[in-house]
């Protein structure tokens, strides 16, 4: 039994406070949001187990700071979807705009379409699976977690990367500073296999290449002092 | 921030609804740009005629008998349509330059001119600006609109978008250009002048000047990627259609939607929520440093 909130008659603020209270109550309820009309900050700040299905496209910062909840957008999401997500699952059936999953600490962000620029920027432990392509500067300064891309990656992938793992099946237009291709070891195949299964992605781990940090930017190199 | 909307109709049946659809899109973008709003609308064109849109802060005084005065000055038939602080003068193409010079001398602000384009822009909330000009009732083949949150120049009518720097051409912009003064000087050397201190007007003048030099709209838009520095999502209107380009960093948002009936552009998806058939439209984000245009 699910509760439907229609956004032609219910204000965004009321929708979000209803969802946030339900999440906090840990009742594990199901909610359906109709007519989201591209609203900002839909279903953000959910702190507890709850299932939310949004019937349509959302604007900025949908499902931001999500913890434990499962949020599905049956449409496309605007900039900053699942920003700073902590845990739970956020699924976007369509495309996601720029900086999807930015600074995410945990959970799974599953994007069935494409994600545009800066996907996973400064990610800190989140797993992001993109079934389509990703734009430029993705995983910039990514620290921890996994970014899996079934399609292609744009320019400067993984620029100034820390210890996040990047798996790309298609072409990478260019790698960012200090990002290199790395050997795919059995443990990586295992991680990838599990993520692909979780995301319902139709791909084999062996088809992917792994990218990571060359760790050359970790420390100041005295030989480069005269370049500043 | 700023909000941009654009709508290009593929079917003539929708033409009477253009103003209504664009007005809703524009008002939805109010919180991206509440200080001024403007629209360029491409409507009917009369063979051999040109429409000049002018603005005055004292319209009652400025527009009284203006048609007769212009008629006497350029020795050609002139009709006038007064819309709040704006007036659209229709006159033969051959006397356009003389008429503009006369109007500027009288202290009127030129919003734009062209065979089909009319420009309406003012300071104020988009809903108020739209109501003042009766934008909902306007028909046409395509139009672009802008809601402004000023960064590079003062909140004035002349600082509002769209900017027009050549017949039937106009530009709206979300972002800010950092080399606009240098480009303004470069263009001035070529004899291309702007009317405001605004960065976007320089972008518009750059595109117009490239087209005047023989470039296609696509080539002129490609040129912005090389020659203009800064952040931009541009939407440019011409007599036959509109074009879109984003700078390579592409931090200014943009989304597009296409159905059998129209192509729509907006800063955010929210602006599309009331468009007919949006549920089944193809919706996508334009790629950075990539030129898109639609022409009939």
Final residue in a domain of this structure, among B80, B115, B150: B115
In a mutagenesis test of the A interface, which of B277, B285, B286, B289 is the best target, namely the one with the most A β-carbons within 10 Å?
Answer: B285
pLDDT tens digits, residue range B118-139? 999 999 999 999 999 999 999 9
Query: What pLDDT does A191 receive?
Result: 98
Contacts of A78 in chain B (CB under 8 A): 253, 255, 268-269
Domain at A2-227: CATH code: 2.160.20.60
Query: What pLDDT does A58 receive?
Result: 97
The CATH number of whichever domain residue B272 belongs to comes to 3.60.20.10
- H helix and E strand count, chain A: 2, 11
Chain B residues bordering chain A (beta-carbon distance below 8 Å): 248, 250-251, 253, 255, 268-273, 279, 283-285, 287-288
| B163 lies in the same domain as B277 | yes
Binary contact (A76, B270; C-beta < 8 A)? no
Binary contact (B285, A79; C-beta < 8 A)? no
Cα separations (Å) of A24 from A27, A66, A68, B9, B24?
Answer: 8, 12, 10, 47, 37
| B178 lies in the same domain as B213 | yes
Contacts of B272 in chain A (CB under 8 A): 38
* Nearest beta carbon to residue A59 from set B251, B270, B287: B270
pLDDT mean over A114-121:
98
Is residue B121 domain-resident?
Answer: no
Strand order in the sheet with A30-34: A2-6, A30-34, A51-55, A70-73, A89-92, A108-111, A124-130, A144-149, A165-168, A209-213, A179-182
Query: What pLDDT does B261 receive?
Result: 97
* Nearest beta carbon to residue B269 from set A76, A117, A135: A76
Q: Which of B169, B179, B152, B59 is nearest to B107 (CA)?
A: B59
Query: What pLDDT does A70 receive?
Result: 98
First CA to last CA distance, chain B: 31
| B39 lies in the same domain as B58 | no
Binary contact (B255, A117; C-beta < 8 A)? no
* Nearest beta carbon to residue B253 from set A79, A135, A136: A79
Range list of H helices, chain B: 18-28, 59-63, 66-74, 96-105, 126-133, 180-189, 199-212, 217-227
Is residue B13 domain-resident?
Answer: yes
List, as ranges, residues 195-224 from A with C-beta within 8 Å of B.
Answer: none
Query: What pLDDT does B45 receive?
Result: 87
| B50 lies in the same domain as B176 | no
List Cβ neighbours of A192 (8 Å cut-off, separation of 6 or more).
A146, A148, A167, A205, A208
Measured distance CA(B246)–CA(B252) in Å, rounded: 8
pLDDT mean over B251-266:
97
| B134 lies in the same domain as B107 | no
Query: What pLDDT does A1 receive?
Result: 77
pLDDT, chain B, mean:
96
> Which position has the token pair 């065979």?
B115
| B56 lies in the same domain as B194 | no
In a mutagenesis test of the B interface, which of A132, A136, A176 is the best target, namely the one with the most B β-carbons within 10 Å?
Answer: A136
Query: What pLDDT does A218 receive?
Result: 84
Beta strands of chain A (E only): which ranges? Answer: 2-6, 30-34, 51-55, 70-73, 89-92, 108-111, 124-130, 144-149, 165-168, 179-182, 209-213
Measured distance CA(A203)–CA(A195) in Å, rounded: 11
Supply the DSSP symbol for A219: S
3-state secondary structure of B80: strand
Query: What pLDDT does B209 receive?
Result: 97
* Nearest beta carbon to residue B285 from set A38, A56, A116: A116
Q: Which of A119, A218, A194, A126 is nearest to A164 (CA)?
A: A126
- How many CA atoms does the CB half-sphere of B166 hold within 13 Å? 19
The CATH number of whichever domain residue B59 belongs to comes to 3.30.70.600
pLDDT mean over A125-136:
98
Q: How many CB pairs under 8 A join A and B?
A: 46
Number of CB atoms found within 10 A of residue B29's CB:
26
Domain count, chain B: 2
pLDDT mean over B3-7:
97
Active site residue B2: yes
Final residue in a domain of this structure, among B94, B115, B136: B115
Contacts of B283 in chain A (CB under 8 A): 57, 76, 94-95
**ipTM exceeds 0.95:** no
pLDDT band at B278 (very low <50, low <70, confident <90, very high): very high
Domain that holds residue B78: 45-115
Say if residue B272's pLDDT is above 70: yes
| B32 lies in the same domain as B106 | no
| B197 lies in the same domain as B246 | yes
Q: Which of B162, B116, B167 is nearest to B142 (CA)?
A: B116
| B215 lies in the same domain as B184 | yes
Tokens matching residue B33? 């740009």
Say what the pTM is: 0.94
Instruction: Give the gap in angstroms from C-alpha B269 to the nearest C-alpha of chain A.
Output: 5
| B145 lies in the same domain as B219 | yes
| Contact with chain B for residue A135, Cβ under 8 A | yes
Query: What pLDDT does B1 receive?
Result: 82
pLDDT band at A59 (very low <50, low <70, confident <90, very high): very high
Is residue B120 domain-resident?
Answer: no
Residue B275's closest chain A neighbor by CA?
Answer: A37
Strand order in the sheet with B163-166: B163-166, B169-177, B230-238, B241-246, B292-295
Say if residue B29's pLDDT is above 80: yes
Measured distance CA(A172)–CA(B266) in Å, rounded: 29
Binary contact (A95, B284; C-beta < 8 A)? yes
> At CA A170, angle to CA A165 and CA A174, rounded to 5?
70
| B39 lies in the same domain as B50 | no
C-beta of residue A119 within 8 angstroms of C-beta of residue A130: yes
Measured distance CA(B203)–CA(B205) in Å, rounded: 5
Final residue in a domain of this structure, among B77, B93, B115: B115
Residues B167-195, buried b or exposed e (16+ Cβ, 10 A)?
bbbbbbbbbebeebeebbeebeeeebebe
| B275 lies in the same domain as B181 | yes
Instruction: Give the gap in angstroms from C-alpha B100 to the nearest C-alpha of chain A.
Output: 43
Q: Which of B287, B104, B276 is nearest to A95 (CA)?
A: B287
In a mutagenesis test of the A interface, which of B3, B31, B268, B269 is the best target, namely the one with the most A β-carbons within 10 Å?
Answer: B269
Provide φ and ψ at B60, rounded to 5°: -60, -45
Q: Which of B204, B286, B202 is nearest to B245 (CA)?
A: B286
Tokens matching residue B189? 């050397």
């Amino acid at each position: 039994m699910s509760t439907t909130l229609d956004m032609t008659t219910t204000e965004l603020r009321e929708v979000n406070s209803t969802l946030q209270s339900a999440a906090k109550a840990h009742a594990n309820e199901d909610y359906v949001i109709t007519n989201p009309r591209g609203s900002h900050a839909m279903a953000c700040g959910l702190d507890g187990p709850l299932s939310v299905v949004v019937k349509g496209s959302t604007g900025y910062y949908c499902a931001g700071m999500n913890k434990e909840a499962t949020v599905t957008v049956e449409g496309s999401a605007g900039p900053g979807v699942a920003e700073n997500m902590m845990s739970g699952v956020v699924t976007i059936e369509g495309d996601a705009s720029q900086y999807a999953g930015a600074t995410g600490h945990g959970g799974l962000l599953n994007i069935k379409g494409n994600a545009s620029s800066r996907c996973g920027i400064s990610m800190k432990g989140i797993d992001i699976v993109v079934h389509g392509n990703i734009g430029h500067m993705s995983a910039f300064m990514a620290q921890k977690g996994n970014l899996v891309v079934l399609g292609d990656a744009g320019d400067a992938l993984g620029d100034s990367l820390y210890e996040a793992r990047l798996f790309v099946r298609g072409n990478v237009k260019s790698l960012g500073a200090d990002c290199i291709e790395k050997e795919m070891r059995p443990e990586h195949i295992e991680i990838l296999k599990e993520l692909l299964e979780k995301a319902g992605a139709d791909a084999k781990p062996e088809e992917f290449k792994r990218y990571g940090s060359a760790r050359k930017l970790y420390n100041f190199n005295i030989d480069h002092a005269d370049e500043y | 921030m700023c909000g941009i909307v654009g709508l290009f109709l593929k079917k003539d049946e929708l033409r009477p609804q253009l103003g209504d659809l664009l007005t809703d899109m524009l008002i939805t973008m109010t919180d991206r740009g509440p200080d001024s709003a403007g629209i360029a609308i491409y409507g009917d064109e009369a063979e051999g005629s040109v429409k000049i849109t002018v603005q005055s802060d004292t319209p009652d005084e400025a527009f009284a008998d203006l048609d007769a005065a212009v008629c006497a000055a350029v020795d050609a038939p002139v009709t006038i349509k007064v819309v709040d602080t704006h007036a659209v003068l229709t006159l033969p193409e051959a006397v356009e330059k003389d008429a503009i010079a006369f109007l500027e001398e009288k202290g009127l602000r030129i919003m734009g001119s062209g065979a089909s384009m009319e420009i309406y822009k003012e300071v104020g909330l988009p809903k108020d600006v739209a109501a003042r000009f009766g934008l909902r009732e306007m028909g046409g083949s395509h139009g672009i609109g802008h809601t402004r949150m000023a960064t590079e120049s003062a909140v004035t009518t002349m600082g509002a978008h769209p900017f027009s720097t050549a017949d039937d051409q106009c530009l709206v912009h979300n972002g800010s250009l950092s080399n606009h003064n240098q480009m303004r000087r470069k263009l001035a050397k070529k004899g291309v002048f702007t009317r405001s201190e605004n960065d976007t007007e320089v972008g518009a003048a750059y595109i117009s000047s490239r087209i005047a030099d023989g470039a296609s709209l696509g080539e002129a838009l490609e040129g912005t990627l090389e020659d203009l520095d800064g952040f931009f999502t541009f939407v440019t209107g011409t007599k036959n259609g509109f074009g879109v380009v984003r700078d390579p960093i592409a931090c200014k948002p943009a989304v597009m939607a296409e159905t059998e009936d129209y192509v729509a552009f907006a800063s955010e998806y929210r602006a599309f929520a009331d468009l007919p058939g949006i549920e089944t439209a193809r919706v996508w984000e334009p790629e950075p440093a990539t030129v898109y245009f639609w022409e009939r």
